[in-house]
Amino acid sequence: MDACEHLRGDRPKEECGVIGLFTPDQDAARVAFFALFALQHRGQESAGIAVSDGSLVHMHKDMGLVSHVFNEQVLQGLPGRLAVGHTRYSTTGASVLRNAQPIYCQSLVGDIAVAHNGNLINAAQLREEMEREGEHFNSSSDSEVIARLIVRDIHLGSEKAVAGVMARVKGAYSVTVLTPKAVIGFRDPNGVRPLVAGTVGAGFMVASESCAFSPVAGTSTRELAPGEMVVIDQDGMRFAQAAPINRPSMCLFEFIYFARPDSHMYGELLYGVRERMGENLAQEHPVAADVVIPVPDSGIPAALGYARESGIPYREGMMKSRYIHRTFIAPDQRLRELGVRMKLTTLSEHIKGKKVVLVDDSIVRATTTKQIVRLLFEAGAVEVHVRITAPPIMYPCFYGIDMASKGELAAARMTIPEICIHLGATSLGYLSIKGAVKATRSDADKFCLACFNGEYPIAVPEEVPRDPFGKKKEDGLFAGDTKSQLALDI
């Protein structure tokens, strides 16, 4: 077990990151590598890159971080001008190599590779139908369902193939597809998961977030609209509406936590959005205190905003060890029980004798937050007022975020006063849905707010299995049984 997995047990889990690109030089794999590196926060279980030299598709993927999966020798063995890439956190299918992406398939136009971010809610039904028709699957990932649907119609042209997929699948998806001659990107009709297009030198790229463009000296130019597709090849970048737009429903958690703070969404820099969330939090839940401190690193922008709006000084109160973030050495039971102490060290001189406002982005199970509150009191804080920029998470996500089942969510099991007592905090305040949306400078009807209010923009069946394909002994851990959830909860 990864030490970090236990420490992140009170965090919603990242989804996946996808990229697709064309470069005039034969170095698409190298560009893809650095773009994926910038999307590493979206998934740390596996990584993969597929390239095309105009006739053949070559691919390399493995378990682990981007920097572990690829080296100079591997990249030199992937020549080509077209590429797609993927970094994965499993939400459907086991965390095993055969579920790593891109997904490779053969088609009438040649080999193709598919990278997918999101989650299909009708994957099991579609798979059963396709298996009855003679289709054979090699993985337990819903992404292979998308890949094999594309294969069926790709000979009809990109737009018809994508339209055919969108007509059958239900759920959240941002997808990049590599064919021998082109890269295709498309986004679900609700736009739940992000996808942005732009330029890279004399070439073109599509990626989950705009932050992927900077490391490769690229420029993001526009977000794909819900239901929109883009085709990238040596002739340029072309857009088409492959499916009618449903109500735009971008995941609000992208703004709160998932996406990098240097990314732009809905035209806004996310760092600024999170600062405004902190300002709104100070307005909604003021308190007399001596210092505002963030939970590093995700709570920093909101803590700055809270401090600015409240007039309470901002100080760093904890230092985060960035080198325990991913370790392949499992801690023994004694070290595991130390919990957040392996990750966070308090600056007691900034805390002792102080009334502290602790700002963080979210509470899921409340286990990690409880440990942090305890650390601050042990460091000498006289009061700890917890302030959270995400509204109370009361409902599970079916669109590609592993947040735990409803029975595991603190806000679904306890009232806010009960959560405060459970944390051992002096007070607890959550930002309201209205306050969170206001900080984005967009309207509430442009977001998926289902994990906060239970209103799912894409209809969800009454019973959606956490592993829609049936757990198999050799598969190990599945989406609903992540390593962190199987770890001892402190």
- Residues annotated as catalytic are 16
Q: What are phi and psi of 195, to 5 degrees?
A: -160, 130
Q: How far apart (Å, rounded) are the C-alpha atoms in residues 219 and 233?
A: 17
> Rounded to 5 degrees, what are φ and ψ at 38?
-75, -15
User: What tokens appear for 284 in the block?
Assistant: 């909604």
Q: What share of the chain is helix, strand, coil (3-state, %, to 5)?
A: 35, 25, 40
Amino acid found at 297 = D
Q: Are 117 and 89 in contact (CB under 8 A)?
A: no
Q: Which residue is it, tokens 């990314």?
A: 263
Question: What is the Cα–Cα distance from 33 to 53, expressed in whole angstroms?
Answer: 17
E strand or H helix that includes residue 27: none
Among 200, 175, 173, smallest CA distance to 188 is for: 173
Rounded to whole angstroms, the Cα distance separating 262 from 366 reads 27
Give yes or no for a contact between 21 and 183, defined as CB atoms under 8 angstroms apart: yes
| Residue among 309, 447, 295, 444 nearest 356 (CA) | 295
The size of the chain, in residues, is: 490
Q: Which amino acid is at 171?
A: G
E strand map for 295-405: 318-320, 344-346, 355-360, 383-388
Token readout for 164 is 């055919």
